[in-house]
Structure 1
């Protein structure tokens, strides 16, 4: 058995074997439970499982920053810089940052940022140079070397024609500069022909450096954030919540431009894509930075690094190597944890009575359109940043098999143990600790079910032959997963009306067919009539999404693309034979 599957799967098999030999009535007791909170509480009370998980997490290892490696890579970068091999120098300085921290004796973090800023300056990437200078100063760059860094920043401001900023910076840093240097720069700035105010220091990485594509929704929907006025949310008992055309929609129209509520980067892309926004990392065009505690994850900017640490990574960091390389946890299961972390414990506990009542009322029976107010605020806006639409997604608990629910409950307990070891529940009282674990575990269990039916793969385009720019032979490859409030409302058709594209983790939905006002707008769930046989499509949809597709291509058994020509030829031959056999009157 490979390393990726052995930990969770083997431990689950061991637990099931133990329980079968010790508790004959466990299955019957578990199957009677109707809410995810009760299911999680049930498995939490099986002490044997908790002990096994404690032992598992107590034996995991954490690899902290390494001052020796950080210093060595920085020195290698310096050698590359001296010979003007700037790209090689960038790579080395990035490696130094990966292993650096501000607490190291040499303060490798500040020194690596400062040295990398020199590379960006020589590459005429003055905005990136400024960003690195600011990072070096924040990290405690040595006072004795500060003047050369200040002069580099002033030169960048000159080259970017940010004259007002330059004059203000001179005033603030006069104490660190000689009078001659101050006077020289003041003269340069004051004699400049114009005071042009360009873009702020925070850059729009992707759109400025990879080609601008207009992703502006021309007519924003006041009730559905990140969507066009062309769509409305509707409800029926048969379809659930779904999207309908509020007006005639034309091919090519941008209908949705939505960030995920939560997302996760696949393990094999860690270090290649931003761990927060999932953009592909480009060291020549980004201020690539790293987690300040571990050596595993990289970010496209300090902004993404800070957001990641605040919301999710601080609870995953010490166990990340175990999660991605040893635990066997899938990225979709990881995403369930991310949903709870992104929402935040305080916010979730404030909703506890509402969410528990919802589970009790609707999980064991059919829902209706009033089952939950998923729009928030005085204006009742359906927001992609709100947790309630994500909580409200269907779980299909009622039709899942016993083993499926029990395994997901076990995975939820595994993730709650991770949170416990990461001090997520640290501030809770003794009684609150237990109650909060049950509540958070129940939410994770709910999302482990809803994500399997509602999450979307995040993909990026890979060229099969970059030299020839062979777009015709390119393919979309999965790099992560996200849960989206609006995307989750699209129902499936094997002949969809829309297509999805990604910029990092942010998804754009465009029409590929005209849709008349009042018609439902369909996406697809990974199967298309043109490339998948009817039997294959129905099997996958039934197995994962628990429904039998009755779209037009399925009802009429439309042919695959490669069979259309042969069927047309057969029909034409039949038509010719019929004409030849007509009796002449």
Structure 2
């Protein structure tokens, strides 16, 4: 991924700097090659002619646009009009926009808007979301004389969910709250009678006492839209090794079968794309219909108070008000991730570990470090020795800009020290280098049930310390999917003990020819791919031969060589040119017949939305085919793709209908 996007003020800033001294610019820039480390590169750029003089062009400022009481009031009124017209979804959207636009000091207005939103959610039969917004409204100080409305709404939600003890409790609260209600006596009496009637009916229901006993044992369950926290996991079947030729890589310590989950990992850092900032949680990336807003800025939202609290206590305290500057600059998501790496930790943290960052660590030592230790990622590949002076210069300029953003946000205190600015700038520069080659696109599966179309959408980026150690193959052994920002890695074919466990950095052999794949990998990751599909120049899926069947040698010597047999062959015993023994291909032909029926069953389950059962069927198919047939061949490729699709449905998913 590039350093900057096509538009933004940073590319203009760089071009203006270059054009101001075009005759000597390249000569001056080349001098950065003499710098011994990133801190010296920062000093070099700081003293570069014209850099300081053009600081105004960087437009670094903290702004809080989007918070306006009048705008919030107008949006609220639009929500009210949509509500009266029973356009529940439209009303909910207007109330959400109104809530996000409210300034920090408008607590009472916030409570009313959230109560209004809860009413739309109730009509949409989104009961959990309704209950969450009702609680928020009460916590923000909803008017005492109107509280009875919220308690009745709570009760109706619990009634719809058949949670009778909670419904009884809320009906009782509604009756008590009527003492403060400013309603006509007849309406008060009717509502009180309705509540008492419901309480008596529910108390007589046998379910109520049983539910109450169970709830006493389990305790109160907190309602939240936050996704459950997942435990990180690295399979014992995976070993991380290192050698000169292959660098750091993952190897199978034991035989691994198809479909095994070998890694569950949270990101060291993750950043949501700007275009999803108003639909997804900025912290966990979950799409949310009842978001929590940042009290100061209108740039991001959160799925829950938990995520909002995590963000505000770490990175968002410095990104708040600075995000518009980053977005308008044209800086890529990689640059944003580099800034967030620093924003997640305090200045003192990085000052204290500065001397340790350059120390060489073994793989074993790195893996023993805490998951949030910067040294877990600081030694990832950054191709420092092969970078051109112009590349270093541009990255250093970006590091300087990002450091200025942190300074504007108060990261360095009221009076930043020059040495601290240089230290943090140097660490950001190092971070920009390794992030360039080691991040992953966080994805969400979008589906239209009406026409069956599905596509994977890039919603953000993340850096996963363990997965970053896996090497690439154009025929990967694993598939990735995401739950929020947590990545899950499962095998997509059997992997024998001792072999590499390779993932995929982008192009795969079934979709792109070798020349194009290798050009992309060279451009983005700076290496020449030597995987089997590249060495043997495997054909793309469209070009895979359908008149040749690739059997594995099943002779007495078990050499497992590949025997290519024409589909028109009438012989059943085929001699292996590697071991000289004969293989009976009847078994393979029988497998091909059996898999046709299994494939139809698996596809039927997938189309019916039973993805777990479909997944199990496709995994069984892969195991059977891999035992007697050798990739590449069309049926196996299609089965792998179906398996990947099933896994994707276990993660981030959005139904466009």
User: Match for 1:338 among 329, 332, 340?
Assistant: 340
- Aligned position for 2:450: 467
- The alpha carbon displacement at 1:441 in A equals 0.9
**Alpha-carbon distance in 2 for matches of 1:434, 1:168:** 61
1:151-166 matched pairs, under 5 angstroms: 151-157=152-158, 160=161
- Aligned position for 1:440: 424
Query: Is 1:406–2:393 an aligned residue pair?
Result: yes
| 1:172-209 CA-partner distances (Å, limit 9, x unpaired) | 999866499799598788663321437722346669xx
User: Match for 2:7 among 5, 8, 13?
Assistant: 5
- Aligned position for 2:362: 370
Query: Is 1:298–2:298 an aligned residue pair?
Result: no
User: Match for 2:311 among 308, 319, 331?
Assistant: 308
- The alpha carbon displacement at 1:409 in A equals 0.3
Corresponding residue pairs, total: 532
User: Match for 2:409 among 384, 405, 422?
Assistant: 422
Cα distance change on mapping 1:114 and 1:273 into 2, 3 Å: same
3-state SS in 2 of match to 1:68: helix
| 1:275-304 CA-partner distances (Å, limit 9, x unpaired) | 2222234x3xxx223332222323322322
Deviates more, 1:440-449 or 1:298-307: 298-307
Aligned-residue RMSD, C-alpha: 3.6
The structure with higher relative contact order (CA 8 Å, sep 6+) is: 1
User: Match for 2:96 among 90, 94, 97?
Assistant: 94
**Alpha-carbon distance in 2 for matches of 1:164, 1:351:** 54
- The alpha carbon displacement at 1:496 in A equals 0.9
- Aligned position for 1:365: none
**Alpha-carbon distance in 2 for matches of 1:462, 1:120:** 23
* Aligned 8 A contact 1:96 1:108 in 2: no
Cα distance change on mapping 1:415 and 1:19 into 2, 3 Å: farther
Deviates more, 1:447-456 or 1:149-158: 149-158
Deviates more, 1:417-426 or 1:2-11: 2-11
Query: Is 1:279–2:300 an aligned residue pair?
Result: no
Query: Is 1:456–2:440 an aligned residue pair?
Result: yes
- The alpha carbon displacement at 1:30 in A equals 1.4
Q: Output the TM-score relative to the length of structure 1.
A: 0.80
* Aligned 8 A contact 1:157 1:166 in 2: yes
1:355-366 matched pairs, under 5 angstroms: 355=357, 357-358=358-359
- Aligned position for 1:103: 105
Deviates more, 1:155-164 or 1:338-347: 155-164
User: Match for 1:193 among 188, 197, 209?
Assistant: 209
**Alpha-carbon distance in 1 for matches of 2:87, 2:25:** 67
User: Match for 1:244 among 236, 242, 251?
Assistant: 251
- The alpha carbon displacement at 1:491 in A equals 0.2
Q: Which runs of 5+ in 1 are unaligned?
A: 208-214, 363-368, 577-585
Cα distance change on mapping 1:565 and 1:108 into 2, 3 Å: same
3-state SS in 2 of match to 1:351: helix
Q: Output the TM-score relative to the length of structure 2.
A: 0.72
**Alpha-carbon distance in 2 for matches of 1:542, 1:33:** 26
1:250-289 matched pairs, under 5 angstroms: 250-281=257-288, 283=289, 287-289=290-292
- Aligned position for 1:227: 234
1:195-214 matched pairs, under 5 angstroms: 195=212, 196-197=214-215, 200-203=221-224
- Aligned position for 1:579: none
Deviates more, 1:106-115 or 1:442-451: 106-115
Q: Which runs of 5+ in 2 are unaligned?
A: 181-188, 550-563, 570-657
Cα distance change on mapping 1:62 and 1:575 into 2, 3 Å: same
* Aligned 8 A contact 1:36 1:443 in 2: yes
User: Match for 1:317 among 291, 316, 320?
Assistant: 320
**Alpha-carbon distance in 2 for matches of 1:467, 1:262:** 36
- Aligned position for 1:500: 480
**Alpha-carbon distance in 2 for matches of 1:339, 1:42:** 24
* Aligned 8 A contact 2:18 2:25 in 1: no
- The alpha carbon displacement at 1:22 in A equals 7.1
| 1:62-90 CA-partner distances (Å, limit 9, x unpaired) | 41412112112222322333343322221
- The alpha carbon displacement at 1:59 in A equals 7.2
Cα distance change on mapping 1:566 and 1:250 into 2, 3 Å: closer
**Alpha-carbon distance in 1 for matches of 2:126, 2:546:** 57
